[in-house]
Amino acid sequence: MSPEFWNRIFADNPVWAWFMALGIFLGVLLFFLALRAFLTRFFTRRFRRTGRPWAERGAELARRTTFLFLLMVAIFAGSLSLRLPPEAGKVIRGLIVTLFLAQLGIWGSRLASLWVGRMTEKRRAEGDAAAATTLASMGLLIRIAIWALVVLLILQNLGVNVTALAAGVGIAGIALAFAAQSILADLFSFLAIVVDKPFLVGDFIVAGKVEGTVERIGIKTTRIRSLTGEEVVVSNSELLKGWIHDYTKMRERRVFFRFAVDYQTPHEKVAAIPRIVQEIIEATPNVRFDRAHFKEYGEFGLVFEVVYFVLSPSYRDYMDAQQAINLGIHKRFSEEGIKFALPVRRVLVERG
């Protein structure tokens, strides 16, 4: 091409300047794309090899760097070699700052998620379920705060009067509060759960007709995995309205049961039954005997009342202990010739 072509002025810049800007744009974009790919692979391999937290964070930051942000950086770099009108330069600078702030929000939100997740797992491994639940719940609030700050900075960069906007939002918030009472009730209930900790993630609870293991505590709802396998989603406000039974916090289980023996059982055997039951319970692992008494004369037999404690909150441990005790009582009563009472009613008919 002739020198006249290269020196021809187009939009206040010679043609060679536009080609140079295009070359800078493509070079910068390809360089940053290659750098992102290299850093992602490098930190991912290092994390798989060493398991270091900094390598995981580096891989996530590289992976979360958006193409749009890199594209805007390349456009800005190419524009530096051109003589642009003040309005165009202002628009480019505004866009690059806006995308940079948004990219900071993406990085900050992801780093907060990684930190909260790692700390939550650490506390859960240490057995501190309360701290794990609080961290998991506060992680969402931290991300909301990060994005709220990013949005305010973007609006300020775009020339919006943030102070006046905040005042307007405050006035509008009063109207929104009346329109969204249920959402606010769930939000305040979420804060009550986080602060007061009536239950924790992983706890087995019974609340109304719902019983299961708490899997997640959200801002509006709590998700519970029921005994039959399905996930039950309950609003936080509804969950806190009634009684909540948290069986995970139970240290030991009190067990009460009754049985009856036949009225024809000899007196000495009736007197020996409490001692026999005590021996069986004390021989059962993981339980503590409390009492065994001949309580009353029932409709069908002599009623005995027994109380013992299972030294574990596990329902399976309770059932194992109760089964062992029942089998032990059945065996000893068979050996002693003691018969259980049957629900039989005798009717005496008098003639005449």
Same domain, 119 and 207: no
Same domain, 53 and 69: yes
Residues 6+ apart with CB under 8 A from 341: 260, 261, 262, 263, 298, 300, 301, 302
At 338 the three-state DSSP class reads coil
Residues 6+ apart with CB under 8 A from 174: none
Same domain, 53 and 38: yes
- The answer to whether residues 131 and 201 touch, using CB atoms and an 8 Å cutoff, is no
Same domain, 25 and 161: yes
Same domain, 10 and 154: yes
Please report whether residue 262 resides in a domain: yes
Enclosing H/E stretch for 352: none
Sign of dihedral through CA atoms 176, 180, 181, 186? negative
Domain end residue (candidates: 143, 168, 193): 168
Same domain, 26 and 118: yes
- Whether residue 238 is predicted with pLDDT greater than 80 in this model: the reply is yes
Q: What is the mean pLDDT of the chain?
A: 81
Please report whether residue 173 resides in a domain: no
Higher-pLDDT residue of 121 and 170 is 121
Dump the DSSP string for 146-188: HHHHHHHHHHHHTT--HHHHHHHHHHHHHHHHHHTHHHHHHHH
Same domain, 153 and 200: no
At 8 the three-state DSSP class reads coil
Domain end residue (candidates: 141, 168, 195): 168
At 311 the three-state DSSP class reads coil
What local confidence, expressed as pLDDT, does residue 302 receive? 95
Same domain, 28 and 104: yes
Same domain, 227 and 259: no
Domain count, the chain: 3
Q: Cβ atoms within 10 A of the Cβ of 37, count? A: 12
Joined together, the tokens standing for residue 13 give: 């810049």
**330: domain CATH number?**
3.30.70.100
What local confidence, expressed as pLDDT, does residue 335 receive? 93
- Estimate to the nearest angstrom the gap between the alpha carbon of 265 and the chain centroid: 57
Going by pLDDT thresholds of 50, 70 and 90, the confidence category of residue 5 is low
The boundaries of the domain holding residue 116 are 3-168
Q: Are strands 204-207 and 13-14 parallel, antiparallel or unpaired?
A: unpaired
Question: Mind listing the pLDDT tens digit for each residue in 126-170?
Answer: 666 666 666 666 777 788 888 888 888 878 777 766 666 555 555
Distance CA 308, CA 320 (A): 14
Same domain, 208 and 80: no
What local confidence, expressed as pLDDT, does residue 182 receive? 65
Same domain, 152 and 15: yes
Q: CA angle, corner 211, sides to 209 and 213, nearest 5?
A: 155
- Estimate to the nearest angstrom the gap between the alpha carbon of 77 and the chain centroid: 44
- The answer to whether residues 133 and 197 touch, using CB atoms and an 8 Å cutoff, is yes
At 6 the three-state DSSP class reads helix
Distance CA 285, CA 324 (A): 9
What local confidence, expressed as pLDDT, does residue 39 receive? 87
Domain end residue (candidates: 231, 246, 261): 246
- The answer to whether residues 321 and 254 touch, using CB atoms and an 8 Å cutoff, is no
Whole-angstrom Cα Rg for the chain: 37
Please report whether residue 343 resides in a domain: no
Higher-pLDDT residue of 337 and 243 is 337
Whose CA is closest to 291, among 273, 306, 275? 306
Question: Mind listing the pLDDT tens digit for each residue in 76-101?
Answer: 887 777 777 777 777 777 788 888 88
Joined together, the tokens standing for residue 119 give: 């700390």
Please report whether residue 352 resides in a domain: no
At 59 the three-state DSSP class reads helix
Same domain, 50 and 92: yes
